[in-house]
Amino acid sequence: MRRVLAVLQVVLLALFALPALATPRIGVMTMQPGEVFWERFGHDAIVIVDPARGEPVSYNFGFFDLGEPGFTGRFIRGDMQYSLAALPLREDLQNYQDEGRGVSIQWLNLTPAQAEALQSALELNALPQNARYHYDYFRDNCTTRVRDALDRALGGQLRRQLEGSSNGETYRSESTRLASPAPWMRFGFELGLGPSSDVALTHWDDAFLPQRLADSLATVNNNGAPLVSATEQLLPHRIAPAPEEASLPLWPFLLTGFALAALILAFGRKHPRLLAAFALPFWLFCGVFGAVSLYAWIATAHWVAAANHNLWLLNPLALLMLWPALQWIYGSDSRFGRGVLLLLAIFAFCGLMVSWLGPLQRNAPWVALLVPIHWALAATWPSRALVRSRD
C-alpha cells in the first residue's frame, strides 16, 4: 500500500511540476468495476493538467446523493439526477485506491484549440447551476457524458468513426455480464429488460461502459493522427476483475421446466392441497414481478423495461390466484381459480409464440422454464370432489 501511494505521489508531482504549457494536457481516466452494485459497470472521468491553473483536476460526472430528498422516488420513476464535480485528481484517485479498483489514463493527442475548447466547456459545465443532469443508465450516464464532451471538442470526429461499426453486444448482454457477480442483479436484468435492450449496439452506443469507451478511443484518429498518445496505469486492480461474457444456457432451464411440469402432473392430483401450498409462492412471485414490470413500462421513464415479453410469463393476473390457492389449501374448490389458471396458461403459450415467431427479445430460457409449469398447473388442478377427498 505504501509503495503504491509513493508511486502515485511521484506521478502526481511529476504532472504538477511540468512547466507551464501553452496547451493543457487532457486525459481520459478509466476506473475498473467495484464491488458495490452501482460500481459494477466501472467509471471514468476527464483529467486536465494545466499547471498555470493549479494541480491536476478530475472532471467526474458520477456524483449523486442517496440522502437527497426525493431520491428514492426519482430512482423508481427513472428520473435520477447526477452531477458533474471538478475535484483535485489526488482526491479522486484516493477513493479508488481505498476501494482497490484499478485506474488507467489515456493521454489524448489534441490540438491546442481542441484542448482549450474542452477545458472551457468542462469548467462551464461544472458550475453549480450547470452541473446537474438527468441520468439515464444507458444513454446519458457518467461515461456517455465523457464521450459527448470529447466528441464536441473533436468536432464530431469521434461519433463519425464509432457509429458505423459494432461487435454485436447489446445493453442486455453487457449489463448481465457485468452484473453476474451479484446473481440477484444479473437475473433482475435478465427478467426486467425489454426488447429494446436486445438491439445490437454500435461502438458509439456501447461507449456507455467505461472500458468500451477506452477500447474505442485507442482506435480513433484525430485529423489523421492517433487520438491516444500514451496510456499509463495509475492504480493496480486489487479485487476481482470484470467477468467475461456469460449468456444464459437454454438447456438447464428447459430441463428444469419439464422436470417440474412432470412432477406436477404426476403428483398434483394426488396431493392437491400440498401442490397449492407450493404453487402459492410461485403465483405470488409471478404476480408481483408482473405488476412491477407493467408499472415500469407504463408509469416510469425506464424505457428499457417497456413492452417486456416476460409479462406473458410473469403475469400480474397471477395475483388473482392467491385467494383460490388458500381455498384449495383448506380443501375448498374455486371455479374462478381454475379459470384464472387456464388464462395464465394461454398467456404463457402466447409468450411462447411471440418468442418463437419473432426473436425480438432474448428470453428463451424463461419461456423454456415457465411455459411447461403454467400448463402443468392448468392441466392438473382437480375438481371439487378430489380437493375434498384427498390430503
Is the domain of 275 the same as that of 160?
A: no
Instruction: Tell me, yes or no, whether 119 lies in a domain.
Output: yes
Comparing C-alpha atoms, which of 141, 35, 142, 146 is closest to residue 98?
A: 35
> Into how many domains does the chain fold?
2
Instruction: Tell me, yes or no, whether 116 lies in a domain.
Output: yes
Is the domain of 272 the same as that of 161?
A: no
Instruction: Tell me, yes or no, whether 26 lies in a domain.
Output: yes
Instruction: Tell me, yes or no, whether 150 lies in a domain.
Output: yes
Is the domain of 97 the same as that of 231?
A: yes
Is the domain of 226 the same as that of 268?
A: no
Comparing C-alpha atoms, which of 1, 37, 31 is closest to residue 93?
A: 31
Provide the pLDDT confidence category of residue 1 given band limits of 50, 70 and 90: low
pLDDT digits (tens, 9 = 90+) for 229-241: 999 999 999 999 8
pLDDT digits (tens, 9 = 90+) for 335-364: 899 999 999 999 999 999 998 887 789 999
Provide the pLDDT confidence category of residue 245 given band limits of 50, 70 and 90: confident
Instruction: Tell me, yes or no, whether 48 lies in a domain.
Output: yes
Comparing C-alpha atoms, which of 163, 167, 131, 134 is closest to residue 147?
A: 163
Is the domain of 147 the same as that of 214?
A: yes
Q: Helices 183-192 and 171-179 meet at what angle, rounded to 10?
A: 160
Instruction: Tell me, yes or no, whether 193 lies in a domain.
Output: no
Q: What is the mean pLDDT of the chain?
A: 90
The pTM of this model reads 0.88
Instruction: Tell me, yes or no, whether 219 lies in a domain.
Output: yes
| CA dist., res. 391 & res. 239, Å (int) | 53
Is the domain of 328 the same as that of 214?
A: no
Where on the phi/psi map is residue 27: left (φ > 0), alpha (ψ -120 to 50), or beta? beta
- Domain of 295? 250-389
Is the domain of 217 the same as that of 284?
A: no
Is the domain of 272 the same as that of 228?
A: no
| CA dist., res. 389 & res. 331, Å (int) | 8
Is the domain of 56 the same as that of 123?
A: yes
Is the domain of 210 the same as that of 303?
A: no
CB atoms under 10 Å from CB of 255, counted, come to 12
| 28 contacts: CB under 8 Å, gap ≥ 6 | 44, 45, 46, 47, 105, 106, 108, 146, 150, 213, 214, 217
